[in-house]
Every structure is written in structure tokens, then in C-alpha cells.
């Protein structure tokens, strides 16, 4: 049976795409069709996808590039995030995945994107390296503890209750050491209508770091319209509370707050100050605060200085790679390869 690759919109085969993705991602199995429709709508004008079909039109795989805008000082760059790379089990012995990834790489060679980013699983890492992708870093899970009793009891039983006061005191001391020198910020939750009225044009960017440059239309489509996660968007106010100078995107699950994305006006504060300040505020009551950012990045270092601790995640989390593809002749090729340059959060990546 011959397999063919074609650049096309997966929504043209909505039911087949939903069935294919649901077989690989149990989280979306009950709402797969809604997920596919949303995934390929919020950035529809710029998302590009490839379908792997049999010669009679049966869908056997797909792969997409989701557009992102990043800034490096005064430079605006087009980044692409590889998403929804999936091949049906019965078709994995062929070259479908390889050919789809080669089609993806061609978008860099054509100048459509400056850099591609991906988060392959352990099995796909070898293939990605063989095709020329380079490992930039791995995703670092950092945790700030407010109340450790519940998570420690879940892991250690009654012994966790005895250890909790000691652990909480240690975590509070780490936060207190850094708190005095941090900018004082205020936070308020933003509803979708409020998000759409905020204009980040003119916000400052830090020099020497790759940071997200997404607007609030993206925030609403990517996060607030998501059918699979309940996100909240919080605005960061200037010290005088006269304007919004940043935002955070968060989720709250079973007492654990996940900070998924953040953007700030660098004239008023840094990403590290915004995230640490939010976690120390009374905006949301949570036992734990978690952030996922590239290991070795300046943001990771800033958060650890603010009292965050590296979490010992599961084996799969420890193998969560951040890989990229770019051309050697790109003027920023050497910078792309340096993890300390990437001040982004996991929300910048695929869903």
C-alpha cells in the first residue's frame, strides 16, 4: 500500500484526524473532534500541516507547524512549533514520519521560519537527531512550595505529615532571602473581553534573550478557548497600577498551580520577578506552584534564586527534550544553540 504526503488542512478530514489523534492521546479522546477544530482554528491563517494518506485517501498520519513570534532584542523572528506529529501504528514501518519531518524542515530552508522547535518523546529523539535537529536543552520543572502536607502525604503517607512543617519552613526561608530586592507588582484576573482590549505594542524586550512576542488575540485563542484545559489569564499591573505591563497564563488542578506562559514589559519587570511575585501574592490559593522552562536558561536560574526548587519528576518528564532546527548560515545560529538564551515557558510549545 503506497503512502502519499500532501500539505493540507486536517479539518478537511476532521473525523479521521480526530480518531487518529485520540488513539495516541487519551486526554482528548472524548472531545477529539472539538480539539482538532480548535487546534487548527486559533492560528489557522499561518498553521501549516501535512497529511499522510494511502493511495485511496485513508488518513494514516499528520504533522503540523504552529507559528510563534519571538523577539531577540530588537529582532522579530518567526518560530515554528512542531505539533500533532502522529503516525498510525500499522504504518510506522515505512518512511512516513521521516518524510513529514523533511517537509517541515523545508519550511526553514525556504525562509518561511527562522527556527523550528520540538519536544519529541524518547523514541523520536534519535530520529530527530538523525534528521539534523539539535538538542538545545531539556524542560526543567521548578516548584515553589507553600504548603507541602497534602503532596507529601500522597507520596509518603503519615510520614509526609511529620516532614511537612520542616519542608515548609525551608521553602519559606528560600523565598524570603530573595523577596526584599524584588519589584512590587499587582495582579488582577482578566476576562476574555478585557484581554482583547490590552495592547502590548511598545512593550520592552530584554536584550540577549529569546522571548515570546505573542499578542492577546493569540492568548485568547491558544488558552482561553481551549476545550481541554481551564486556563486563567492574570494581568500584571505597573507599580502605580495605571496600566497592564504583562500577563500570566495559569491552570489550577488539585491544589497545584501551573504557570504556563508569561510575557512582560521589560521596562517594568523581568519574567522571573513577575512569576515569583505572582506566586508570593494572594492571587490564587495553592499548595504548590510549578513552572516548566528550559534547563540552563536565565529564567530557570532567576526562579531558583527566588526560592524555586527543581522537582524530581517522573522518568518521562526527565526525558522531555527541547530540540530545534535551523540553518548554519542564520546569523543567530550560535545563539539558538545556547539554552541560557531561551526565556520561554512550556506554554510557548505545543498544546
Tens digit of each residue's pLDDT (9 = 90 or more) over 2-45: 888 999 999 999 999 999 998 888 778 788 999 999 999 887 67
Instruction: Yes or no: say if 141 and 313 are a contact pair by the CB < 8 Å rule.
Output: yes
Tens digit of each residue's pLDDT (9 = 90 or more) over 305-323: 888 888 755 444 455 899 9
Q: Could you tell me the three cell numbers for 135?
A: 538538542
Confidence (pLDDT) at 314: 43
To the question of domain 140-319 being in CATH 3.30.70, the answer is no
Confidence (pLDDT) at 104: 95
The domain 3-113: what is its CATH number? 3.40.630.30
Using a pLDDT cut of 70, give the percent of the chain over it. Answer: 86
Half-sphere exposure of 28 toward its Cβ, with a 13 Å CA cutoff? 23
Contacts of 9 (CB under 8 A, 6+ apart): 40, 44, 49
Residue 196 has pLDDT above 90, yes or no: no
Residue 214 has pLDDT above 50, yes or no: yes
DSSP state of 184: P
Considering just the CA atoms, what is the radius of gyration of the chain in Å? 21
Q: Residues 221, 227, 232, 233: what is their CA dihedral angle, to the nearest 10 degrees? A: 0
Q: Domain spans of the chain? A: 3-113, 140-319
d(CA 150, CA 168): 12
Mean pLDDT, the chain, integer: 85
Are 3-113 and 140-319 the same fold in CATH?
yes
pTM: 0.86
CA angle 228, 216, 141 (to 5 degrees): 55
Tens digit of each residue's pLDDT (9 = 90 or more) over 130-184: 999 999 999 989 988 776 556 655 555 655 565 566 656 665 665 555 555 456 7
Confidence (pLDDT) at 149: 56
d(CA 194, CA 210): 27
Q: Could you tell me the three cell numbers for 295?
A: 534547563
* Residue with the larger pLDDT of the pair 21 and 91: 21
Amino acid at each position: 500500500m503506497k503512502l502519499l504526503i500532501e500539505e493540507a488542512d486536517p479539518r478537511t478530514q476532521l473525523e479521521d484526524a480526530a480518531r487518529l489523534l485520540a488513539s495516541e492521546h487519551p486526554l482528548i479522546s472524548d472531545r477529539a473532534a472539538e480539539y482538532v477544530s480548535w487546534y487548527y482554528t486559533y492560528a489557522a491563517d499561518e498553521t501549516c500541516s501535512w497529511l499522510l494518506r494511502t493511495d485511496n485517501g485513508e488518513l494514516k498520519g499528520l504533522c503540523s507547524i504552529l507559528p510563534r513570534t519571538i523577539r531577540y532584542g530588537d529582532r522579530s523572528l518567526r518560530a515554528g512549533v512542531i505539533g500533532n506529529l502522529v503516525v498510525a501504528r500499522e504504518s510506522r514501518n515505512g518512511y512516513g514520519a521521516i518524510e513529514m519531518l523533511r517537509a517541515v524542515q523545508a519550511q526553514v530552508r525556504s525562509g518561511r521560519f527562522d527556527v523550528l522547535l520540538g519536544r519529541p518523546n524518547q523514541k523520536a529523539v534519535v530520529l530527530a537527531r538523525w534528521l539534523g535537529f539539535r538538542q538545545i536543552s531539556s524542560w526543567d520543572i521548578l516548584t515553589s512550595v507553600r504548603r507541602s502536607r497534602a503532596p507529601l502525604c500522597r507520596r509518603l503517607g503519615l510520614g509526609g505529615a511529620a516532614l511537612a512543617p520542616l519542608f515548609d519552613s525551608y521553602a519559606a526561608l528560600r523565598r524570603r532571602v530573595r523577596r526584599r530586592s524584588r519589584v512590587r507588582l499587582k495582579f488582577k484576573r482578566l476576562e476574555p473581553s478585557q484581554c482583547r482590549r490590552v495592547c502590548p505594542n511598545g512593550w520592552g524586550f530584554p536584550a540577549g534573550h529569546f522571548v515570546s512576542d505573542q499578542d492577546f488575540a493569540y492568548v485568547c485563542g491558544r488558552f482561553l478557548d481551549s476545550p481541554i484545559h481551564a486556563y486563567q489569564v492574570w494581568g500584571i499591573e505597573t507599580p502605580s497600577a495605571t496600566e497592564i505591563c504583562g500577563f500570566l497564563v495559569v491552570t489550577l488542578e488539585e491544589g497545584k498551580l501551573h504557570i504556563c506562559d508569561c510575557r512582560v514589559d521589560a521596562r517594568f519587570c523581568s519574567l522571573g520577578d513577575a512569576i515569583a511575585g505572582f506566586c508570593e501574592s494572594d492571587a490564587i490559593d495553592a499548595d504548590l506552584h510549578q513552572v516548566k522552562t528550559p534547563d540552563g536558561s536565565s529564567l530557570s536560574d532567576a526562579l531558583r534564586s527566588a526560592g524555586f526548587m527543581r522537582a524530581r519528576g517522573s522518568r518521562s518528564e526527565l526525558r522531555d527534550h527541547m530540540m530545534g532546527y535551523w540553518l548554519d548560515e542564520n546569523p543567530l545560529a550560535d545563539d539558538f544553540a545556547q539554552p541560557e538564551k531561551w526565556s520561554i515557558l512550556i506554554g510557548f510549545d505545543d498544546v
